[in-house]
Amino acid sequence: MAGIGKSCLARLLFNHIAVANRFDCRLWVFVSTEFNPREVIKELMQPLPGDTTESLHRCLEGKRYLVVLDDEREILLFNRENASRLLLTSRNRVPRMNTPYVHEMKLLGPEKNWPLLLTKAFFEGLQVKRLHEFEIIGREILKKCSGLPLAI
């Protein structure tokens, strides 16, 4: 499902200091709707200096690496040698792909979407006496958003 926060969560994980320290090399690739393996490999090589083929080989050989394929729509095979990882975000429900973990994102419930709306829509310093007035309007807005974080 689009807008539920898959890429945002993947980006937070990708940039986390513990993840950066665990992997020798981290690569992020946005996969377009028209999947083309050659284009994915070209995008993987872009941030690397020098001869891209040699640089990619040098970057990955014998090292632990994390590759994020953002918005992937097809199943890819992946070699898990050297404790390397593939993080895949997809709008489609992914079959269990012989992987140790699949995290399915869920819509936000009322206990989480109200605080999100407060931080995004209302300014700090909202007077408590006006909060009730805004809450009535805000709860109506949240019904229309159906728990989708991007809509909020």
- 115 CA to centre of own chain: 21
Residue type, 90: S
Give SS3 for 25. Answer: strand
Is residue 91 within 8 A of residue 70, CB to CB? The reply is: no
Could you give the percent of the chain with pLDDT greater than 90? 5
At 16, the pLDDT band (50, 70, 90 cuts) reads very high
Please, which residues have CB within 8 angstroms of residue 59's CB and are 6 or more apart in sequence? 24, 25, 48, 65
Least confident stretch, 6-10, 81-85, 99-103: 81-85
As a whole number of angstroms, the distance between CA 78 and CA 69 comes to 12
Q: Which helix (H) or strand (E) holds 85?
A: strand 85-88
Q: What whole-number percentage of the chain has pLDDT above 70? A: 59
